Structure 1
């Protein structure tokens, strides 16, 4: 049996773009893990009629509805009184919640106000979902065969209530269905190229297995999805078709799981016990930032010389002035010298360099905006490559960083064969 859910996020701040809705993404991931599909995500204003209408429209269509937001102690937090009216249940003080709220204020040495008492009030016919990290409890209702769960909008409180209270109950109530996802990372090509290469494999997929293309600057995620009662059988079928795709696409498949490009590189570095340094110009340290966002990156990453200005290229990376004046900062000769000197200076197994024109200005007929040169060296060989990107400055930077990370991946794999 397939269980369908709808997520309703409440708050004007979501509708005007002041706050990004990360709650829905997290909730959807958790529901998928326990075999519940998300059918729809809805954002509504802090208005009683908007919330009530969303519930009226959603209850007949779903097995489960999750609401987040509007459970605070201020006048604009209207979800709880609305739910009291909607489910025709008066608000009562829950003694367990009341004692918890008082303890929180005592620990924080803050006065307990009348409005804080409201946090302990819940509709009489709901099941309280305890919030050990905050004052707003979650609430569980049931109507017309549908479970309705209301949660606070504060992400860490919502996640705690979901993990400790809601998900265990949902697993027990809605057991029996499994959703299987298999994600592959394909680097350096577009979705049209991939679709042409695997057209016959995609056409032959069983009806219950679906393939999605999820393009990102520099790479594409391919996701196979299926659902049903037998997890092992489903996983085996998905793995078989994923392997067919991997064999067809070859080395452009960077990973057989949902990993960031820097995570792929980190795994290869650790597997082959290699160290890495960078010489960045146009990316301005962005590559180093992404790598150092990974826990444990110090095991393989030594550092980056951010040679944004030509003086730094000349003084720290020993790029001859003659090369900078004739070939230019964005040239094959320059990036080769940058990579080789970075490796020598930082005593690493591998070094990658990058220099380019990301835009919107700075381009010429010979060197247009989007031109990026990269080089990678291990002391025995140096490989250079020219790239052309065609978007705005930030997207060009993202594509350049992803291309650089994939260049490192391919360099390591080539060295192992």
Structure 2
């Protein structure tokens, strides 16, 4: 079986200044192409660490994909290191130079300095991948039947190379494996309870079908995985059984986020929604509008972070705020009605809470959140008490209120 390893390079990854999204994206693409990733390694901008990683990863994988360290500055050492590692010498690649010159002349429209010209330098022992989205070319090396591919760390540039050049190259060179994944999403139930619920099912799975639990923010994904040429039908049969066992908590039998499920539900019925957000500050709107085609089901939002905006824009009564406080059932009901009146969607979400780390009281500690979902003539509310840090409280609020809206719509439309 052909196996791959990913090396990401950069001190910024190790100190947490930048989150490594490259390796996760690459792993997804390789997996779909039938090339499993067996290791992922992050190293700093240090010669010895990069060299050691190259030595080690080829012991585990046939394909080593490298991102980062190809820029024009002194801390970008990946290219000279690869030149020495593969016993080459640096040369100017004509095609790469034309690409750099074209970018500066026709796109950036400014003079190119010598430092930029050096971007076209590559080891003479590599095959060059022209960077259609930037100046740093990709490089393909071979050593003892192993393939090493170095790409820029800029996600946009790396993704272009993977799709246009790297995957076609690997699929032509290597025999890939049929990898079958089936994933479902549950909500309203913990990982431990799910494990007990499907204990017999999991115990009786054949050795070549693996079950994985993927919990995240009040939701749990269950994934079945098998490898081989004739496993799709068997995996589907097991997946059908799994769905029936968890049907009470099932959100979707696709590997998709909750906001996509809500969007599909609304589009299928020709309905739209809006949001009124206080404590989440527009995060729910962000989740929804990040979905392709969200304009078909999402109309807009009022981020009523202050009481003044709640009063002036959403028509929340001053008396309601004074008597019950901004974090209250009464206020989120008025927020929901106000945003529906303002935006005129079919359904809405309204949230108000205390995210922390400050602002809590004995009666309403940090993590107290009131939410409302509904339509013009019917509003449903719920109180949550999360008690976590600010970021997690915001994320949990968004996921829980989206799921509450999903269930509300299902009942309302009798789907």
TM-score by length of 2: 0.90
Given that 1:130 and 1:165 are in contact with CA atoms closer than 8 Å, whether structure 2 keeps it comes out as: no
User: What RMSD, in angstroms, separates the aligned Cα atoms of the two structures?
Assistant: 2.5
Matching of residues 285-324 of structure 1 within 5 Å: 285-314=282-311, 316-324=313-321
TM-superposed CA distance for 1:272, in Å, is: 1.2
Partner of 1:149: 149
> Does residue 412 in structure 1 map to residue 380 in structure 2?
no
SS in 1 for 2:165: helix
SS in 2 for 1:35: coil
Equivalents in 1 of 2:175, 2:333: separation in Å? 58
SS in 1 for 2:58: helix
> Does residue 198 in structure 1 map to residue 198 in structure 2?
yes
Gaps of at least 5 residues in structure 1 are none
TM-superposed CA distance for 1:33, in Å, is: 1.5
Equivalents in 1 of 2:17, 2:122: separation in Å? 29
Distance 1:333 1:50, change over 3 A: closer
Partner of 1:7: 6
Matching of residues 43-54 of structure 1 within 5 Å: 43-54=42-53
> Does residue 252 in structure 1 map to residue 252 in structure 2?
no
TM-superposed CA distance for 1:380, in Å, is: 4.3
Partner of 2:392: 395
SS in 2 for 1:40: strand
Equivalents in 1 of 2:211, 2:171: separation in Å? 27
> Does residue 82 in structure 1 map to residue 78 in structure 2?
no
Residues paired across the two proteins, number: 413
Gaps of at least 5 residues in structure 2 are none
Given that 1:7 and 1:66 are in contact with CA atoms closer than 8 Å, whether structure 2 keeps it comes out as: yes
Query: Could you tell which deviates more after superposition, 205-214 or 394-403?
Result: 205-214
TM-superposed CA distance for 1:310, in Å, is: 4.1
Query: Could you tell which deviates more after superposition, 187-196 or 278-287?
Result: 278-287
Equivalents in 1 of 2:235, 2:257: separation in Å? 21
TM-superposed CA distance for 1:364, in Å, is: 3.6
TM-score by length of 1: 0.90
Equivalents in 1 of 2:98, 2:299: separation in Å? 52
TM-superposed CA distance for 1:177, in Å, is: 0.7
TM-superposed CA distance for 1:170, in Å, is: 0.3
Given that 2:184 and 2:255 are in contact with CA atoms closer than 8 Å, whether structure 1 keeps it comes out as: yes
Partner of 1:207: 207
Equivalents in 2 of 1:12, 1:178: separation in Å? 36
Distance 1:355 1:82, change over 3 A: closer
Equivalents in 1 of 2:184, 2:394: separation in Å? 23
Partner of 1:32: 31
Distance 1:327 1:79, change over 3 A: closer
Distance 1:386 1:95, change over 3 A: closer
Equivalents in 2 of 1:401, 1:131: separation in Å? 38
Equivalents in 1 of 2:99, 2:9: separation in Å? 25
Given that 1:59 and 1:144 are in contact with CA atoms closer than 8 Å, whether structure 2 keeps it comes out as: no
Equivalents in 1 of 2:238, 2:392: separation in Å? 32
Deviations 1:355-408 (A, max 9, x none): 223333333443333222222233443322222212012211111111110011
TM-superposed CA distance for 1:268, in Å, is: 0.8
Equivalents in 2 of 1:74, 1:319: separation in Å? 55
Deviations 1:303-358 (A, max 9, x none): 33334444554555455555444444333333334333433443332233222233
Distance 1:373 1:156, change over 3 A: closer
Distance 1:138 1:289, change over 3 A: closer
TM-superposed CA distance for 1:56, in Å, is: 1.4
Partner of 1:234: 231
